[in-house]
Chains A and B, each alone.
Chain A
Amino acid sequence: MTELEAGRAERLAPVRSGAALQRYRDVLIALIAFAVLASLPLFTGSKALLDFVIRCSAYGLFATSLNLLVGYTGLTSFGHGMFFGLGAYSFGLIMQKLGVPIPVAFVATLAITAAVAAVIGAICVRLKEIYFAFVTLAFQMLIHSTILSWASFTGGDQGLRGGIPRPAFLGINLANHVHLYIASCALLVLGLLAMRQIAQSPFGYTLRMIRDNAARASFLGIDVWRAKLTVFVLAALFASMGGMVMALFVSGAYPEFAYWTISGEGIFINMLGGVSTFLGPMVGTVLLLLLNDTVTRFTEYHGIVLGVVILFFALGLRKGLLDFVAEWFAQRRDAGEGR
Chain B
Amino acid sequence: MLEIRNLAKSFGGVKATNDVSLEFPDGSLTAVIGPNGAGKSTFFNLITGALKPDSGQVLLDGVDLAGRSPPEIVRHGIGRAFQVASIFKSLTVQETMLAAVSADQRSSAVLHKRFPLPETRDRAEHVMELLGLASKRHRTAATLSHGDQKLLDIALALVLEPKVLLLDEPTAGMGPEERWRMIDKVRELWETQKITVVFIEHDMDIVFKIAPKIVVLCYGRILATGTPDEIRNNTAVIDAYLGTEHAGAAA
Q: Which residues in A have some Cβ–Cβ distance to B below 8 Å?
A: 8, 12, 15-16, 19-20, 22-23, 197-198, 200-206, 208-209, 211-213, 215-223, 226-227, 230
B113 at the interface (CB under 8 A from A): yes
Known: A219-B80, A220-B100. Contact between A208 and B117, CB under 8 A?
no
Q: Which residues of A contact B14 (CB under 8 A)?
A: none
CB <8 Å contact, A202 and B110? yes
Q: Complex Cα distance A91/B111, Å?
A: 27
Q: Which residues of B contact A212 (CB under 8 A)?
A: 87-91
Q: Complex Cα distance A222/B156, Å?
A: 13
B108 at the interface (CB under 8 A from A): yes
Interchain Cβ contacts under 8 Å between A and B, 28 examples? A12-B121, A15-B94, A200-B114, A201-B112, A203-B108, A205-B99, A205-B108, A205-B115, A205-B116, A206-B99, A208-B90, A208-B91, A208-B99, A209-B88, A209-B99, A211-B90, A212-B91, A213-B87, A216-B86, A216-B87, A219-B50, A219-B74, A220-B71, A220-B74, A221-B74, A221-B106, A222-B71, A230-B109
1/0 contact trace for B95-108 toward A, CB 8 Å?
10011101110111
Known: A12-B125, A219-B48, A219-B74. Contact between A202 and B99, CB under 8 A?
yes
CB <8 Å contact, A201 and B113? yes
CB <8 Å contact, B91 and A222? no
Q: Which residues of A contact B50 (CB under 8 A)?
A: 215, 219
CB <8 Å contact, B111 and A203? yes
Q: Which residues of A contact B111 (CB under 8 A)?
A: 197-198, 201, 203
Interface size class of B (residues with CB under 8 A): 35 or more
From A19, A217, A218, A222, contact of B114 by CB (8 A) = A19
Q: Which residues of A contact B129 (CB under 8 A)?
A: 8
Instruction: Name the residue on A nearest B90 (C-beta).
Output: A212
B232 at the interface (CB under 8 A from A): no
Q: Which residues of A contact B98 (CB under 8 A)?
A: 205
CB <8 Å contact, B75 and A202? no
Q: Which residues of B contact A208 (CB under 8 A)?
A: 88, 90-91, 99
Q: Which residues of A contact B104 (CB under 8 A)?
A: 220-221
Q: Which residues of B contact A19 (CB under 8 A)?
A: 114-116
1/0 contact trace for B134-160 toward A, CB 8 Å?
000000000000000000000011001
Q: Complex Cα distance A22/B114, Å?
A: 9
B118 at the interface (CB under 8 A from A): yes
Binding site secondary structure of chain A = helix
B6 at the interface (CB under 8 A from A): no
Q: Which residues in B have some Cβ–Cβ distance to A below 8 Å?
A: 48, 50, 69-71, 74-75, 79-80, 82, 86-91, 94-95, 98-100, 102-104, 106-118, 121, 125, 129, 156-157, 160
Q: How far is the CB of A304 from chain B (nearest CB, A)?
A: 35
Q: How far is the CB of B70 from chain A (nearest CB, A)?
A: 5
Q: Which residues of A contact B115 (CB under 8 A)?
A: 19, 200-202, 204-205
Q: Complex Cα distance A17/B79, Å?
A: 32
Q: Which residues of B contact A217 (CB under 8 A)?
A: 88, 103
Q: Complex Cα distance A220/B69, Å?
A: 11
Q: How far is the CB of A283 from chain B (nearest CB, A)?
A: 21
Q: Which residues of A contact B156 (CB under 8 A)?
A: 216, 220
Known: A15-B116, A200-B115. Contact between A213 and B86, CB under 8 A?
yes
Q: How far is the CB of A16 from chain B (nearest CB, A)?
A: 6
From A20, A23, A205, A219, contact of B70 by CB (8 A) = A219
CB <8 Å contact, B116 and A201? no
CB <8 Å contact, B69 and A218? yes
- 8 closest cross-chain pairs (CB), A and B: A212-B88, A19-B114, A220-B103, A206-B108, A221-B74, A205-B99, A202-B110, A216-B86
Q: Complex Cα distance A302/B102, Å?
A: 49
Instruction: Name the residue on A nearest B94 (C-beta).
Output: A15
Q: How far is the CB of B142 from chain A (nearest CB, A)?
A: 9
Q: Which residues of A contact B160 (CB under 8 A)?
A: 220-221
CB <8 Å contact, A206 and B103? yes
CB <8 Å contact, A202 and B107? yes
CB <8 Å contact, B109 and A203? yes
Q: Complex Cα distance A208/B142, Å?
A: 14
